[in-house]
Amino acid sequence: LAALLGPAGHIDAFDIRASALRELQIRAQRARLTNIAILPAAPTAQYDGVLVDAPCSGTGTWRRAPHLKWTTTPAQVTAAAEQQLALLTQYAAFVRPGGQLIYATCSLSRFENENVITDFLAANPAFKPEPPTPARAFGFTPDTATGGLTILPAKHNTDGFFVATLRRA
């Protein structure tokens, strides 16, 4: 993302996991990216774009970690969906009018993806789904109801992912 934005763009990164921020710092230095600032605490400003890379059940990683198929429980999926909706709602406050809220998981569960987006949109009428425009160029077909795009392991030869783009009015 930082490389795509280039030197004119700026990223403030925050994660509740300190280890994830340390890893980001290492990767940014290795890639010589200077447009990333790691925040020591949750942001207070509003942004043109906010990415919520939500913790999830990881069902999209089952191809490379098949043991998880036997250890992931419905209760874990339900708990993840509740946490995801809470995070999406919390970080929506940091999207300025006209800005984008991008939601991503490595889950293939509708409970964690489309249902979270549907519940969020019902409670936050200032946001509207906006299917990712470059998706069609790569052969992906976004869901117009949620703005969501599901990347399937068998079809795309990668882990499974879901991403939704929402625009604040």
Q: How far apart are alpha carbons 13 and 168 in whole angstroms?
A: 20
Q: Which of 36, 92, 106, 149 is catalytic?
A: 106
Q: How far apart are alpha carbons 89 and 35 in whole angstroms?
A: 26
56 is catalytic: no
- For 78, how many CA atoms within 13 A lie in the half-sphere containing its CB? 3
Q: How far apart are alpha carbons 103 and 25 in whole angstroms?
A: 22
The strand pair at 36-38 and 127-129 is best described as unpaired
Q: DSSP readout, 83-113?
A: HHHHHHHHHHTTEEEEEEEEEEES---TTTT
Give the N- to C-terminal CA distance of the chain in Å, as an integer: 24
Q: Which of 108, 169, 116 is nearest to 147 (CA)?
A: 116
Q: Which residues are identified as catalytic?
A: 106
